[in-house]
Homo-oligomer: A and B are copies of this chain.
């Protein structure tokens, strides 16, 4: 009887899984039934590949880091269920006989340096990034010529609702940087920054602001375009990007748009590599920026080895720093241990110097976009107040 109960319980569980309500992800190609997402945070994927001998699915850390083998039905469809998916947006892909390919049923996003499939696994009640019945800002594709790189560059610029109707109001400005492997469209596409800000502004929680999202790669005019991944190479590229910000981006965008003058109206924030660049560009120029956001910042390359002398001595006088820097904010996902450790170490060193920082931890998320969307949602209300 005990055994029977156990078997029935087991069956019940199996049936429960089978009957779990799966719905097509809202991020799918219109009309496509897969991937499907359940309320229990499982994702069912499917691919037609009758002639393939092996098909797997894999993706971001919070989705399916280790490839999961799919099973084939009689019609040639390979399918499987990824369980215990963490909240929010995840990159994913198939491995068809070993070749990494995107899902034709998914919109592709720029991730890991290539177009990559993505799926949203929403958590009940968490809708801060949804397109709601509120006034919407715009995201503009803005081409500008960079004297530093000698090339035309594409930035995306968010202008808040009302920007075009009231042509006198000036706005503070946030420079928002993406990560390695992403590009300048990441924040507005998978990061949903425009909807996050639209909602915060409509609720009166954030000040209307302009947001500039540029590309995080820059090669100085005449330099080799071949990536040099040595420490010197990375340092040089960051220095070039710093020059692009100083000589091209700030002058271009702050004269083109109606931007309030002065460092008290200027913020900089970035994720992962963009967090590193926020340090390098922003902290080297505390005369320019008052608000700093480091989302899962990649504080690598010894950048925090000697904080008392780093960044042109920004931290040397803690009282001055705390007075002038309105916000020095760190955000990180609870499950991205390496970054939690890096940030904890950096904040400890800063605290030892008397530097004041803020900290936010996104629960149950990894080094993925949902961490960063949540970071922006927490960070933006603190700006320009």
Stretch from A11-19, A106-114, A350-358, A366-374 at the B interface:
A106-114
Is there contact, CB below 8 Å, between A99 and B152?
no
Is there contact, CB below 8 Å, between B100 and A104?
yes
Q: A137-152, CB under 8 A of B: which get 1 and which 0?
A: 0111111110000001
Number of A residues contacting the other chain (C-beta, 8 Å)? 47
Checking B47, B99, B105 against A47 with a beta-carbon cut-off of 8 angstroms, the contacting residue is B99
In the complex, what residues of B have CB within 8 A of residue A194's CB? 141
Would you give the shortest CB distance from A339 to chain B, in whole angstroms?
A: 25
Would you give the shortest CB distance from A47 to chain B, in whole angstroms?
A: 7
Given the complex of chains A and B, what is the CA–CA distance between A256 and B227 in angstroms? Answer: 44
Given A140-B141, A167-B167, answer yes or no on A49-B131 (Cβ-Cβ < 8 Å): no
A101 contacts the other chain (Cβ, under 8 Å)?
Answer: yes
**Nearest 5 interchain pairs by C-beta:** A101-B101, A51-B98, A108-B115, A139-B141, A136-B143
Tell me which residues from 71 to 128 in chain A have a Cβ below 8 Å from any Cβ of chain B.
96-102, 104-108, 113-115
A168: nearest chain-B partner, CB-CB: B167
Besides the known contacts A104-B114, A131-B152, A164-B256, 17 further A-B residue pairs in the complex with CB atoms under 8 A apart: A29-B113, A30-B217, A31-B113, A47-B99, A49-B97, A49-B98, A49-B99, A51-B54, A51-B99, A96-B97, A97-B97, A101-B101, A106-B115, A108-B115, A138-B142, A141-B194, A164-B257
User: Can you list 16 A-B pairs with a CB-CB distance of less than 8 A?
Assistant: A49-B98, A52-B96, A52-B97, A96-B99, A99-B101, A100-B104, A101-B104, A104-B115, A105-B114, A106-B115, A108-B108, A108-B115, A115-B115, A138-B140, A140-B140, A164-B256
In the complex, what residues of B have CB within 8 A of residue A164's CB? 256-257
A54: nearest chain-B partner, CB-CB: B51
Would you give the shortest CB distance from A351 to chain B, in whole angstroms?
A: 39
In the complex, what residues of B have CB within 8 A of residue A52's CB? 96-99
A32: nearest chain-B partner, CB-CB: B114
Checking B115, B139, B141, B145 against A102 with a beta-carbon cut-off of 8 angstroms, the contacting residue is B115
A40 contacts the other chain (Cβ, under 8 Å)?
Answer: no
Is there contact, CB below 8 Å, between A31 and B139?
no
Given the complex of chains A and B, what is the CA–CA distance between A102 and B96 in angstroms? Answer: 12
A243 contacts the other chain (Cβ, under 8 Å)?
Answer: no
In the complex, what residues of B have CB within 8 A of residue A230's CB? none
A133 contacts the other chain (Cβ, under 8 Å)?
Answer: yes
Checking B101, B106, B139 against A96 with a beta-carbon cut-off of 8 angstroms, the contacting residue is B101
In the complex, what residues of B have CB within 8 A of residue A144's CB? 136
Given the complex of chains A and B, what is the CA–CA distance between A270 and B353 in angstroms? Answer: 63
A23 contacts the other chain (Cβ, under 8 Å)?
Answer: no
A301 contacts the other chain (Cβ, under 8 Å)?
Answer: no
Is there contact, CB below 8 Å, between B49 and A114?
no
A251 contacts the other chain (Cβ, under 8 Å)?
Answer: no
Is there contact, CB below 8 Å, between A227 and B96?
no
Tell me which residues from 325 to 347 in chain A have a Cβ below 8 Å from any Cβ of chain B.
none
Given A101-B99, A256-B164, answer yes or no on A131-B108 (Cβ-Cβ < 8 Å): no
A233 contacts the other chain (Cβ, under 8 Å)?
Answer: no
